[in-house]
Amino acid sequence: MTPSKTNTSARALQAPAFLISAASARQFPGDGRPEVAFAGRSNAGKSSALNLICERRKLARTSKTPGRTQLVNFFDVEAGRLVDLPGYGFARVPPAVRAKWQTLVESYFSQRDALRGVVLIMDSRHPLTAFDEQMLGWTLAGGLPTHILLTKADKLGRGAQTDCLRSVRKALEETPATVQTFSATTRIGLDEARAQIQGWLTEPV
């Protein structure tokens, strides 16, 4: 049997490189390379997850301040493209900024023909918020494969991690969404997350 370390699906996504920060849909790249988007609440850990999956600490900017990523950031990897979406659900943003976010993210989901899947990041200490439900509504209604990372699992004990995973799986059992535990700090669930993304980028459609 091949040990998981030599399995290509569990390796870091190769040759990650920043491509473009898009402030509007006109700036989204149009070359049709297969794409996987990272979505989730502000401060949930999207950029941290993307960085760990690529094994590059400063690829996407991370911050303690919610709302750090306000543009749609595109990164090329060997197998395709990863997209860091701006976070949603940050209470203190002015309504105009929130409306702009909504337009940008909605136009992203409605226009990306090469989008193979969405990694939806939720903080495992408070998963399935109303915003998460809204995002899931968009991805599932659009028929987009959706994989949930219950991140910051390092902040929970083993028992609480299992409870969280079980309850989110139960809540979504009628949907095609898949769910796993993750931590960008302790690398819990890293191989599983990478394998999912690599699979989406490389499997024929």
Ligand X SMILES: Nc1nc2c(ncn2[C@@H]2O[C@H](COP(=O)(O)OP(=O)(O)OP(=O)(O)O)[C@@H](O)[C@H]2O)c(=O)[nH]1
Residues forming the site for ligand X (CB under 6 A)? 40, 42-48, 62-64, 66-69, 87, 151-152, 154-155, 183-185
Read off the tokens for 156.
Answer: 């929970």
Q: How far is the CB of 83 from Mg ion (least distance, A)?
A: 12
Burial (CB count within 10 angstroms: exposed 0-12, middle 13-18, buried 19+), residue 95: exposed
42 interacts with, out of ligand X, Mg ion, none, CB within 5 to 8 A per kind? ligand X
Is 119:36 a contact under the CB 8 Å cutoff?
Answer: yes
Question: What whole-number distance in Å separates Cα of residue 46 and Cα of residue 4?
Answer: 24
Exactly one of 16, 36, 38, 47 binds Mg ion (CB under 5 A); that residue is 47
Residue 124, by phi and psi: left (phi above 0), alpha (psi -120 to 50) or beta?
Answer: alpha
21 interacts with, out of ligand X, Mg ion, none, CB within 5 to 8 A per kind? none
Q: What CA dihedral angle connects 132, 40, 179 and 143, to 10 degrees? A: 70
Q: Which is nearer to ligand X, 109 or 203 (CB)?
A: 109
Q: How far is the CB of 118 from ligand X (least distance, A)?
A: 14
Is 43:184 a contact under the CB 8 Å cutoff?
Answer: no
Q: How far is the CB of 105 from Mg ion (least distance, A)?
A: 13
Q: How far is the CB of 63 from ligand X (least distance, A)?
A: 5
Q: Which is nearer to ligand X, 2 or 65 (CB)?
A: 65
48 interacts with, out of Mg ion, ligand X, none, CB within 5 to 8 A per kind? ligand X
169 interacts with, out of ligand X, Mg ion, none, CB within 5 to 8 A per kind? none
Q: How far is the CB of 132 from Mg ion (least distance, A)?
A: 16
Please work out the total of residues on this chain that contact Mg ion, with binding judged by CB under 5 A.
3
Read off the tokens for 121.
Answer: 């990041």
Question: What whole-number distance in Å separates Cα of residue 44 and Cα of residue 151?
Answer: 7
End-to-end CA distance of the chain: 28
Residues that bind Mg ion (CB under 5 A): 46-47, 69
